[in-house]
């Protein structure tokens, strides 16, 4: 099967907003009286929509409290982004640019509703044929809807696309949707993303031809 498109997660894949997300979640759950650490972050909130993350931690909380908490978390996160507390992964930018020049159709599929804002802020928005956020689908990751929607918006089927993810919930969503999944493990724990078809530490480690080869081998 020919590779025709690449769907990128945003946070942790294209830009490093993880510290800002972690700090915003930590502030929220401290205010709400719930314990929070890296384990909770990776297991319950990383890669998920805000409401889903809140609900996974604040089990049994009423819907209005969950919605209000999710909005507060978003506000805390945006405060940090406005202060410049993020960075762009240069290896990912180079990979995006190479994919553009090769004529692949590109999309981002992020649980964040701030995806378009962040892409514009870092000068990458015009590289993508479609931008899908968590507010574009009814169910967030690990449900595959967000990736299926992204594939549809670039007029491709899952069998022609690679999904690039760094979160457990995102890898699960990609594989459930029938996509080839390229996992990015920036923490030295590749077993965490064992469901991915291929795992690298950074996109700088992989060129497009190597990805094509792995993609075609998997299909074969």
Task: Give catalytic residue positions.
Answer: 9
Contacts 24+ apart (CB under 8 A), 202-207: 202/89, 202/91, 202/92, 203/89, 203/91, 203/92, 203/94, 203/95, 203/164, 204/90, 204/91, 204/94, 204/95, 205/91, 206/95, 206/182, 207/98
Tell me the β-bridge partners of 131. Answer: 108
Contact at 8 Å (CB) between 199 and 190? Answer: yes
Instruction: Look up tokens 């929070």; give the residue.
Output: 36
């Amino acid at each position: 099967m020919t590779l025709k498109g690449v769907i990128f997660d945003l946070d942790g894949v294209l830009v490093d907003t993880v510290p800002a997300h972690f700090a915003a979640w930590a502030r929220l759950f401290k205010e709400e009286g719930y314990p929070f650490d890296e384990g909770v972050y990776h297991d319950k909130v990383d890669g998920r929509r805000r409401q889903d993350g809140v609900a996974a931690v604040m089990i049994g909380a009423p819907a209005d409290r969950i919605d209000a908490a999710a909005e507060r978390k978003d506000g805390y996160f945006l405060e940090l982004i406005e202060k410049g507390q993020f960075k762009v992964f240069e290896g990912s930018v180079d990979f995006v640019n190479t994919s553009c020049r090769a004529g692949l159709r590109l999309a981002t599929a992020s649980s964040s509703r701030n995806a378009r804002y962040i892409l514009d802020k870092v000068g990458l928005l015009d590289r993508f044929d479609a931008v899908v956020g968590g507010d574009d689908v009814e169910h967030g990751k690990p449900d595959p809807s967000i990736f299926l929607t992204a594939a549809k918006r670039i007029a491709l089927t899952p069998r022609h696309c690679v999904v690039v993810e760094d979160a457990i919930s995102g890898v699960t969503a990609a594989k459930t949707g029938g996509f080839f999944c390229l996992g990015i493990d920036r923490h030295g724990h590749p077993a965490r993303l064992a469901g991915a078809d291929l795992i690298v530490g950074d996109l700088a480690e992989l060129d497009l031809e190597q990805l094509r080869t792995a993609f075609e081998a998997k299909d074969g």
